């Protein structure tokens, strides 16, 4: 049996403007023009959120930093 950690929390919240800052929103919109997509936002209690984006072909994963830059070398584990 698979235990789902999200418990009713959407991987991408409806209120992006409340979750992302201005730099992150601008960066996301720019990246979407090139086919990148916001895949999910990890929001652990009492920790910083992790904003994860995928390349158009799905072979690259990036983590968006507070200033909107994409960290392509982030140490992140993705579940299947």
End-to-end Cα distance, the chain: 15
Q: Where are the domains of the chain?
A: 16-71
| Chain segment 13-51, per-residue pLDDT in tens | 888 888 899 999 999 999 999 999 999 998 888 988 899
This prediction's pTM: 0.81
Which pLDDT score is estimated for 73?
Answer: 92
Q: Which of 7, 3, 20 is nearest to 79 (CA)?
A: 3
DSSP run (H or E) holding 30: helix 22-33
Which pLDDT score is estimated for 2?
Answer: 47
Residues 6+ positions from 17 with CB-CB distance below 8 Å: 25
DSSP run (H or E) holding 19: helix 16-19
């Amino acid at each position: 049996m698979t235990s789902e950690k999200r418990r009713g929390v959407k991987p991408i919240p409806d209120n992006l403007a409340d979750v992302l800052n201005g730099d992150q929103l601008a960066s996301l919109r720019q990246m979407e023009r090139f086919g990148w997509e916001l895949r999910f936002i990890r929001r652990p209690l009492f920790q910083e959120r992790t904003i994860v984006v995928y390349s158009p072909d799905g072979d690259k994963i990036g983590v968006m930093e507070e200033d909107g830059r994409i960290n392509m070398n982030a140490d992140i584990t993705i579940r299947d």
